[in-house]
Structure 1
Amino acid sequence: MTSGRMVIDDRFELVERLGSGGMGTVWRAYDLALHREVALKEVRPSSATDDDPGRAQMMRERVLREARALARLDHPNVVTIHHIVDAPAMAHPWIVMELVRGQSLQERLAQGPLAPAEAARLGRGILAALRTAHEAGICHRDVKPANVLLRPDGSPVLTDFGIAAMQDSPGLTANGDVVGSPEYIAPERLRGQEGNPASDLWSLGMLLYVAVEDRHPMRRETPLATLAAVLNGHLPPPVQAGSLTNVLNALLRPDPAARPPAAELDWMLGQAAESVSAPPSAPPSATPHTAPSPMPPPDMRHGSGTPPPRPGAFHGQFPPGP
């Protein structure tokens, strides 16, 4: 203890609790060795109970393996992991990460919706983070506004890969608990199809829908009713999406094979970000930590500028709502 505060590993002094969820608690902490503030994640998932040491050990091994994998990811839109604190005597591991100084996207959206072009620029940054993770064989599986932090300059940082670490097989646990947030989980995951990067793209599409529409189209009174709505697939068309409508049309398809590949999606988001609805003072290239102005995929550069149809792809409008 230092000044009445808890110190982890004789080095990291817990200062303030920043938030908590099913995968653990995040603290603002002070690194006594390097004299800097960091974020310290206490990885203590609610599913790994003390009366099941075998399951707790399995979860521990998975989260450490995942943390080591994420530590190799070097991208400004992915939260940086500095260190793992773990020892046999410790009840659970701690992950030391960069402290992102800014609010979460969830906190930002509580103040009102985003303009379509602004949401498109944000989406490109999140997509860049997902592409980096997917190329390393990691699916996030919990893309939602609470897991996107915004730096002071507005650039997004994708954080909390805890579900990717803690679960790597079923979409539902043996107890029937959803691995992921019901409102943002892709429908194919509810049917037991895991490991597809397109599932993260569905979640990104739902995040963007919520960001511009200021409402969640699948939210119901109970988690079970929300899951049923996701499986039912009746998505009301957006009314405020503007230049982002085509992106939402492409992402929020029940069939993961019908969603656009990442390169095409980046091009689409770039087009939406550069639309007339974008504020002239904030062009996409002026936003730090996002990809540069996109080049269209090779098969689009000499054509009409419209992505060619893919088998099973959806290029029309949302079906009528219920």
Structure 2
Amino acid sequence: MGNAARKLDVIEIHDLFPHINQRFDLDEQIGEPSGFGAVWLAYDRWLDREVALKISQTDLSPEVLLCRDIEGQTVRIYDYFRGENGWHAYSMALLHSSWRTLSSWIETHRYREHDLQHYFDCFEVMYDALRGLAAIHGRPYSREGRYVHADIKPANLFFLCQPKKRPNTVFRMPAHQDMVKIIDMGISTRRGEYNFAGTLAYDYPYKQDSRPGHDLYSLGLTFLEMLSGVLPNHPTMEHKARITTFVTAVSSGSAYIDNLAVELARQCARAATQPAITARSLLAWLDEQLFELNEASLLLLRSIHHQLPGALKKDELACAAFPYMAGYFGWKNQTVGRIEFLKEMIADMYAQGLLVRDGSRYRYFVR
């Protein structure tokens, strides 16, 4: 059955919703096609602001209540309307031009070989998406407020695309605010209920009921699509070796970061059948494995990867890296003590697996 909402024109909407006619000026349909409704750009004369207006022939009240109940990264709902002949609508905050669907970002991103910074960006997006899912899935040991989104995919993740180069960190995304908004809660359910309305390409193929792990499975597919621009198939998610092959084909250029991407995708895949793997546990794991690592080490890793190709002995690498690290530490002059400090950093990075060493010649490099 086609999407009847997308076929409505302004006059038909005004006939179905007299209250909308009194309050809103409709401009145009926005957003990506959905099977459950249409979204219009509208001007709310009462609030004196642009809003997004969702219209559907299905009951939107559960979606509205869910968005209001969840303290997390969903879009703010303003008002709810019942129309004629079983039609429903609600107005919500409009995400302006800096916000894009993740699918739009994937389609327009210029994918390059060994793009380590791109991997850092994708990990940041994943971290914030996991924060949003943690709110939707509810608090541990609580029987209330536990939901499953049931349709996680790039088209349902809005992303605040404002990367900025910062001198003292490899992470570039907006700080101190939500970076990802999870939208389209139209088929979301409570845990354990039956729900087979998700998007087949992203939905866990063997599900029998709704579980938080199914959202994480879908997010794992989304993560690999972010990294590569290509959506992997479900058989890829079934084995770590296949995920490794997929990531290796679009390698970041760093074995440590590649392995981290493989393990994150694998953990998301395993979450579909292992309840102990949750959004919160993955956040803790990412903190330990990446976001709580020494910032200077990650900056040095990126500098070596981008600026210092080839293998160098420890003292050679320390001297070559000095200009790139001087700004971070506030150094002006190169001294023996500072070079020794960088050599110790290099040794620590090798011990952590951030750097690789040619055993016979003791030369260090990123892969």
TM-score calculated relative to the size of structure 2:
0.58
Identity across aligned pairs (percent)? 22
One-letter amino acid of the counterpart of residue 203, structure 1: S
206, 218, 227: which is aligned to 1:188?
206
- Per-residue CA deviation, residues 134-186 of structure 1 (Å, 9 max, x unaligned), is 112221111111111123546111101112169x95444xxxxxx11111101
From the two aligned structures, give the one with the greater helix fraction. 2
How far does residue 279 in structure 1 lie from its aligned partner after superposition? 7.2
Residue in 2 that maps onto 1:300 = none
Distance 2:76 2:43 in 1: 16
- Per-residue CA deviation, residues 27-74 of structure 1 (Å, 9 max, x unaligned), is 111111011011111123xxxxxxxxxxxxxx52xx312311222323
Are 2:274 and 1:257 equivalent residues in the alignment? yes
How far does residue 255 in structure 1 lie from its aligned partner after superposition? 5.0
How far does residue 187 in structure 1 lie from its aligned partner after superposition? 2.8
Residue in 2 that maps onto 1:97 = 92
131, 153, 175: which is aligned to 1:144?
153
- Per-residue CA deviation, residues 204-253 of structure 1 (Å, 9 max, x unaligned), is 111111111221111xxxxxxxxxx5599464432236232221121123
Contact map agreement 1:24 1:41 (CA 8 A) in 2: yes
Alignment size in residue pairs: 242
How far does residue 96 in structure 1 lie from its aligned partner after superposition? 1.2
1:1-322 matches, within 5 Å, as 8=17, 9=19, 10-19=22-31, 20-44=33-57, 59-60=58-59, 63-75=60-72, 77-87=73-83, 89-101=84-96, 102-112=99-109, 113=111, 115-135=118-138, 136-153=145-162, 155-164=179-188, 169-172=193-196, 179-189=197-207, 192=208, 194-218=209-233, 229=234, 233=238, 235-237=242-244, 238-239=247-248, 240=251, 242=258, 243-253=260-270, 256-257=273-274, 260-270=277-287, 271-273=289-291, 276=298
Residue in 2 that maps onto 1:176 = none
CA gap 1:146/1:204 in 2 versus in 1, 3 angstroms: same
Contact map agreement 2:213 2:271 (CA 8 A) in 1: no
Bigger relative CO (Cα 8 Å, ≥ 6 apart): 1
Distance 1:74 1:273 in 2: 24
Task: Pick the structure with greater CA Rg.
Answer: 2
Contact map agreement 1:30 1:36 (CA 8 A) in 2: yes
Q: Which stretches in structure 2 are left out of the alignment for 5+ residues?
A: 1-9, 112-116, 139-144, 163-172, 174-178, 253-257, 304-351, 353-367
How far does residue 78 in structure 1 lie from its aligned partner after superposition? 1.6
How far does residue 197 in structure 1 lie from its aligned partner after superposition? 0.7
How far does residue 272 in structure 1 lie from its aligned partner after superposition? 3.4
Residue in 2 that maps onto 1:55 = none
CA RMSD after TM alignment: 3.2
Distance 2:87 2:11 in 1: 22
3-state DSSP of counterpart to 1:23: coil
3-state DSSP of counterpart to 2:231: coil
- Per-residue CA deviation, residues 105-150 of structure 1 (Å, 9 max, x unaligned), is 1111112358222111111111111111111222111111111112
One-letter amino acid of the counterpart of residue 36, structure 2: M
Residue in 2 that maps onto 1:221 = none
One-letter amino acid of the counterpart of residue 106, structure 1: S
Contact map agreement 1:251 1:259 (CA 8 A) in 2: no
Distance 2:275 2:193 in 1: 23
Q: Which stretches in structure 1 are left out of the alignment for 5+ residues?
A: 45-58, 173-178, 219-228, 281-304, 306-322
CA gap 1:249/1:86 in 2 versus in 1, 3 angstroms: same
One-letter amino acid of the counterpart of residue 71, structure 2: D
